[in-house]
């Protein structure tokens, strides 16, 4: 996968405001992650940046974590989505579900949100198909709130890793854990 944006050296050299502007939406509706990562520069590579941002999320105040999870878009949401969320869902065919599948997803999403207080979050990139996503949703509905919060935060970080891989250029000889 080739990235469309600056390389790590360029990001490391940016003014703080420019760094946040370039990466503030990697974690949806949570520019605070990029803001917290900016003073940690320089990063050796894109994977180090992804790891630092994930650590910021894991170590964040529980209220910030909860707000991050609640702000995440629901799978199958028919309203406006951030461009990257729309692309991710479209690539998995979530925008083209048959009526019965869409109704099932909506019911499972509602049950999940009722149980955990935030939408079901899964990195749809890399999922085999919609059936695998639905199976994961059903399985995770049976989880404990603490486990599900931990899993959802890990999935948000995984999504951010995929987004960084699309946005931040890596050296030609670099391999990344977040490629498709």
Catalytic residue positions, numbered = 72
In whole angstroms, how far apart are CA 62 and each of 32, 65, 69, 118?
14, 5, 10, 13
Do the beta carbons of residue 157 and residue 164 sit within 8 Å? no
Radius of gyration of the chain (CA): 17
Centre a 10 Å sphere on the Cβ of residue 169 and count the other Cβ atoms it contains. Answer: 18
Distance of CA 43 to the CA centre of its chain: 20
By the 8 A CB rule, do 176 and 47 touch? Answer: yes
Distance CA 1, CA 13 (A): 24
First and final CA of the chain: distance in angstroms? Answer: 7
């Amino acid at each position: 996968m080739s990235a469309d944006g600056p390389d790590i050296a360029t990001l490391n050299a940016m003014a703080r405001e420019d760094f946040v502007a370039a990466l503030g939406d990697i974690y949806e509706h949570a520019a605070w992650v990029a803001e917290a990562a900016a003073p940690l520069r320089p990063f050796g590579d894109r994977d180090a940046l992804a790891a630092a941002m994930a650590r910021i999320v894991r170590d964040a105040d529980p209220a910030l974590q909860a707000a991050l999870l609640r702000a995440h878009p629901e799978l199958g949401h028919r309203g406006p989505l951030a461009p990257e969320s729309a692309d991710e869902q479209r690539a998995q065919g979530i925008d083209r579900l048959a009526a019965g599948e869409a109704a099932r997803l909506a019911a499972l999403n509602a049950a999940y949100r009722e149980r955990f207080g935030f939408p079901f979050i899964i990195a749809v990139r890399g999922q085999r198909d919609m059936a695998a996503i639905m199976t994961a949703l059903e399985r995770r509905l049976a989880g404990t709130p603490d486990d599900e919060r931990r899993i959802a935060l890990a999935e948000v970080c995984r999504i951010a890793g995929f987004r960084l891989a699309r946005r931040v250029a890596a050296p030609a000889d670099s391999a990344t854990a977040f490629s498709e």
